């Protein structure tokens, strides 16, 4: 019988939590995709060795306190304004790495103008976009990305597109703009998808270092609380309903 | 020797900003202040000092760009006129809540609504009483000449960084558009990142291994923490009120009546004083240079000497409320002013003085 202490040795270490993640308890609901994406960003920052040169811009939404979880310098923006902050931070300090982290309400409703114009100017930043089709933080109201027929607290009978319009495919819109160099849609609900998302995030930061313009990484994610499902059920529902409307993969890669 | 130039108030703001070594300007066009960004774009300071100048998609975006830049410890500013400044109120309360230094210029025009492009002073309440939500204050400077438009840029940045608070230069369409001789400072260098890290250790310039991460935020979900933070803000404002009151007095020594006026109204009232004194009316003027903090104590002092005060402003009567509060109704305080884009003449002010205070 081998003693556990003979196994826990530096030479046997094959995986370790990155130091870019803090020890703080996450404020996210168990099963939520936000935490997974945080971990991936932290790993990419560590692997690229850019912890001391990266500035994150946190949104208003469930990830408003993202700054508690990654050990980098952060600014917290007003609802929807993260791309404007990121624009100034990057232009004033072009040698730093700058990213915004935003939900669908933040990026595609209240902040649409800031989003489109930052992308149109080709701001040399990374925008990380968590599309969970709902306003998670405020208790599950309809988002610009809520699916047709999908119920939310402000459309309890399901989104009626004749009343509220179709959900907005903002990433496809942003891919039209010459300022974006990379627009991709990923998810973090399986191990394989987690790996793909991490690659996409790394590519986005590398694009920034190569001065290529705006990179947008959309993560279609679950909101088990807002959708009123178990985490497992929410991931199944996401595969069946969200992915057909928001197909995964690169939308633009230049 | 400072360089002498003939220029518009708006141009002076731009020129002074470059020479002060300001790091960034973000704006959106609106009359009567578009010359600020136009001058900057024509001068191309990014080729000389490295100053960033960017036309944003809206005033909402420009004030949030200011937030981002200020969070990095950079000296950043924006300018606009009334409707644009209304759009900036969200950003201003966030800046105050995150304790960020920045300079915002409002070249006021007549309102409400889209109003008129003609000058006014009707954004006084918005500026000194809040404008955005929450208990916060903007340090507010009111220039009365093109020279002060230039001089107040650097002064505003000094105050903004001293108190970690947004500073408003509350100007108006008269000062913005009129041309005067102005003495300009020598070019100063922009701050280096080392200087910022040393003097403003809160700035988000990237987390160094030897310090904790820096977080610029205005969110405190816990009520008790938020209350404590508010107490800290209030203590800061008390210190501003104690140390930063600025005003100018004109012919106050023997005055029996006092005009209180700021900005272009104060310029007009200088002529009114001459006319009144020629008629034998002993009138002086107190010109608040800081509207917040307001020269409350000095007004109370003058209240013991004069028979009445006339607040002259291009508004329906806003600053007059602060004058009344300052003198605690110990003397009659009246308001006079044309508004909605109209500007009073010196003679109209003297008439108002005679009718509202002397004859009354
Ligand atoms: C100006 C303003 N309007 C409304 C709100 C309330 N609010 C907070 S978060 C939020 C929605 C966030 O949804 P999303 O961006 O999708 O993020 P999620 O919580 O789903 O991750 C809203 C409407 C606010 N904080 N500020
Ligand atoms: S409300 Fe939804 S998005 Fe927010 S933490 Fe919970 S599961 Fe995640
Ligand atoms: Mg959402």
Would the pTM of this model clear 0.90, i.e. be above it? yes
Shared domain for B170 and B264, answered yes or no, is no
Residue A192, classified by CB atoms within 10 Å of its CB into exposed (0-12), middle (13-18) or buried (19+), is exposed
- Residue that finishes a domain, picked among B170, B193, B216: B193
Q: Would residue B339 count as lying in a domain?
A: yes
Q: What is the CATH number of the domain that holds A171?
A: 3.40.50.970
Closest alpha carbon within chain A to B193? A93
How many structural domains are present in chain A? Answer: 1
Greatest extent of chain A over all pairs of C-alpha atoms, in Å:
68
On chain B, the residues whose CB falls within 8 A of the CB of A72 are 206-207, 213
- Work out the percent of chain B whose per-residue pLDDT is above 90: 99
Residues B255, B186, single domain; the answer is no
Task: Let me know if residue B242 belongs to a domain.
Answer: no
CATH number at residue B334: 3.40.50.920
Tokens read off for B96: 């105050």
- The rounded distance, in Å, linking the Cα atoms of A188 and A184 is 13
pLDDT of the residue at B188: 97
Is there a domain that residue B21 lies in? yes
ipTM of the complex: 0.95
What is the model's pLDDT at position A4? 84
Return the H-helix or E-strand segment holding A21: none
B74 touches chain A (CB under 8 A): yes
pLDDT tens track, chain A, 254 positions: 568 888 888 888 888 899 999 999 999 999 999 999 999 999 999 999 999 999 999 999 999 999 999 999 999 999 999 999 999 999 999 999 999 999 999 999 999 999 999 999 999 999 999 999 999 999 999 999 999 999 999 999 999 999 999 999 999 999 999 999 999 999 999 999 999 999 999 999 999 999 999 999 999 999 999 999 999 999 999 999 999 999 999 999 99
Residue ending a domain, choose from B149, B173, B193: B193
What pLDDT shows up at residue A243? 98
Domain presence at residue B239: no
Ligand 1 centroid from CA B38, angstroms? 36
CATH number of the domain residue B140 falls in? 3.40.50.970
Is B209 within the bounds of a domain? no
Residue B74, token pair as written in the block: 């950079």
- Residue B110 clears pLDDT 80, i.e. is over it: yes
Same domain membership, residue B182 and residue B77: yes
Task: Give kind and range of the element (H or E) at residue A107.
Answer: none
Asked whether residue A19 is domain-assigned, the answer is no
Separation between Cα atoms, residue B343 and residue B264, nearest integer Å? 9
pLDDT class for B130, splitting at 50, 70, 90? confident
Residue A50: closest CA among chain B residues belongs to which residue?
A: B206
Give A217 Cα–ligand 3 centroid separation in angstroms.
Answer: 15
Do B92 and A152 form a contact (C-beta atoms < 8 A)?
no
CA distance A149 to A134: 13
Q: Check residue A249 and report its DSSP letter.
A: E
- B93 contact partners, CB below 8 Å, separation of at least 6: B130, B131, B132, B133, B134, B136, B218
Residue where the block lists tokens 């920052």: A45
Q: Mean per-residue pLDDT for B28-45?
A: 98
pLDDT 10s digits, B176-216: 999 999 999 999 999 999 999 999 999 999 999 999 999 99
- Does some domain include residue A3? no
Q: How confident is the model at residue B1, as a pLDDT?
A: 61
B69 to A92: CB separation less than 8 angstroms, yes or no? yes
In a domain, B205, yes or no: no
- Could you read off the pLDDT of B291-331 as tens digits, one per residue? 999 999 999 999 999 999 999 999 999 999 999 999 999 99
Residue whose CA is at the smallest distance from ligand 2 atom 2: A223
Beta strands in B17-110 (DSSP E): 24-27, 52-55, 76-80, 102-108
Q: Are residues B162 and B311 in the same domain?
A: no
Out of B193, B214, B229, pick the residue that ends a domain: B193
Q: How many domains does chain B have?
A: 2
The β-bridge partners of B54 are: B26
Residue B100 inside a domain? The answer is: yes
Q: Which of A9, A66, A10, A79 is nearest to A34 (CA)?
A: A66
A25: left (phi over 0), alpha (psi -120 to 50) or beta: beta
Q: Are A96 and B205 an interchain contact pair (Cβ–Cβ within 8 Å)?
A: yes
Which residues' Cβ are closer than 6 Å to ligand 1?
Answer: A 60-63, 79, 103-106, 130, 132, 134-138, 143
The alpha carbon of B355 and the centre of ligand 2 are apart by a number of angstroms equal to 66
State the residue range of the domain holding B70: 3-193
Distance from CA of B217 to the nearest CA of A (A): 5
Same domain, B177 and B271: no
Chain centre to alpha carbon of residue B172: 10
Q: Which of B62, B91, B204 sits opposite A75 (nearest CB)?
A: B204
- Residue corresponding to tokens 């968590």: A130
Say if residue B171 is in the same domain as residue B74: yes
In this structure, are strands B24-27 and A97-103 parallel, antiparallel, or unpaired? unpaired
A1 inside domain: no
On the question of pLDDT at B286 being above 70, the answer is yes
Range(s) of the domain holding residue A67: 28-248
């Amino acid at each position: 019988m081998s003693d556990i202490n003979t196994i826990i040795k530096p030479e046997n270490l094959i995986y370790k939590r990155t130091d870019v993640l803090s020890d703080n308890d996450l404020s996210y609901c168990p099963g939520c995709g936000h935490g997974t994406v945080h971990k991936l960003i932290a790993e990419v920052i560590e692997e690229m060795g850019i912890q001391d040169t990266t500035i994150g811009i946190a949104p208003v939404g469930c990830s408003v306190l993202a700054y508690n979880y990654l050990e980098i310098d952060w600014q917290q923006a007003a609802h929807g304004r993260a791309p404007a902050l990121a624009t100034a931070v990057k232009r004033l300090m072009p040698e730093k790495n700058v990213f915004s982290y935003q939900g669908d309400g933040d990026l595609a409703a209240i902040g649409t103008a800031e989003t489109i114009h930052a992308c149109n100017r080709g701001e040399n930043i990374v925008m990380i976009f968590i599309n969970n089709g709902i306003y998670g933080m405020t208790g599950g109201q309809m988002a610009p990305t809520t699916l047709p027929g999908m119920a939310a607290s402000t459309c309890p009978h399901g989104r009626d597109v004749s009343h509220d319009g179709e959900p907005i495919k903002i990433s496809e819109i942003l891919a039209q703009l010459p300022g974006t160099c990379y627009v991709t849609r990923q998810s973090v609900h399986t191990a394989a998808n987690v790996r793909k998302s991490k690659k996409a995030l790394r590519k986005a930061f590398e694009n920034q270092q190569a001065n290529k313009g705006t990179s947008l990484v959309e993560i279609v994610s679950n909101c088990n609380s807002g959708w009123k499902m178990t985490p497992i059920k929410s991931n199944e529902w996401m595969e069946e309903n969200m992915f057909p409307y928001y197909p995964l993969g690169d939308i633009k890669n230049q | 020797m400072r360089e002498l130039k003939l220029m518009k108030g708006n141009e002076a703001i731009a020129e002074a900003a470059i020479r002060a070594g300001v790091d960034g300007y973000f704006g959106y066009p609106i009359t009567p202040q578009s010359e600020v960004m136009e001058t900057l774009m024509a001068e191309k300071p990014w080729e000389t000092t490295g100053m960033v100048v960017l036309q944003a998609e809206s005033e909402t975006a420009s004030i949030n760009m200011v937030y981002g830049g200020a969070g990095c410890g950079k000296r950043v500013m924006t300018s606009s006129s009334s409707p644009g400044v209304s759009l900036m109120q969200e950003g201003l309360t966030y800046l105050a809540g995150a304790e960020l230094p920045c300079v915002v210029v409002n070249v006021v025009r007549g309102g409400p609504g889209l109003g008129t492009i003609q000058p006014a002073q009707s954004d006084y309440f918005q500026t000194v009483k809040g404008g955005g939500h929450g208990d916060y204050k903007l340090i507010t400077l009111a220039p009365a000449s093109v020279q002060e438009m230039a001089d107040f840029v650097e002064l505003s940045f000094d105050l903004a960084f001293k108190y970690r608070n947004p500073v408003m230069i509350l100007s108006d369409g008269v000062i913005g558009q009129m041309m005067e001789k102005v003495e300009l400072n020598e070019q100063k260098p922009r701050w280096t990142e080392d200087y910022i890290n040393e003097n403003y250790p809160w700035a988000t310039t990237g987390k160094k291994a030897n310090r904790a991460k820096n977080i610029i935020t205005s969110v405190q979900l816990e009520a008790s923490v938020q209350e404590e933070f508010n107490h800290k803000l209030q203590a800061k404002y008390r210190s501003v009120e104690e140390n930063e009151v600025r005003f100018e007095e004109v012919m106050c020594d023997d005055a029996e009546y006092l005009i209180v006026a700021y900005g272009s109204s104060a310029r007009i009232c200088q002529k009114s004083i001459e006319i009144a004194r020629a008629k034998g009316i002993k009138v002086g003027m107190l010109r608040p240079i800081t509207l917040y903090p307001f020269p409350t104590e000095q007004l109370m002092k003058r209240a013991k000497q004069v028979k009445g005060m006339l607040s002259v402003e291009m508004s329906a009567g806003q600053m007059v409320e602060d004058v009344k509060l300052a003198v605690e109704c110990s003397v009659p305080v009246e308001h006079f002013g044309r508004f909605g884009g109209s500007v009073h003449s010196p003679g109209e002010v003297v008439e108002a003085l005679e009718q509202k205070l002397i004859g009354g």
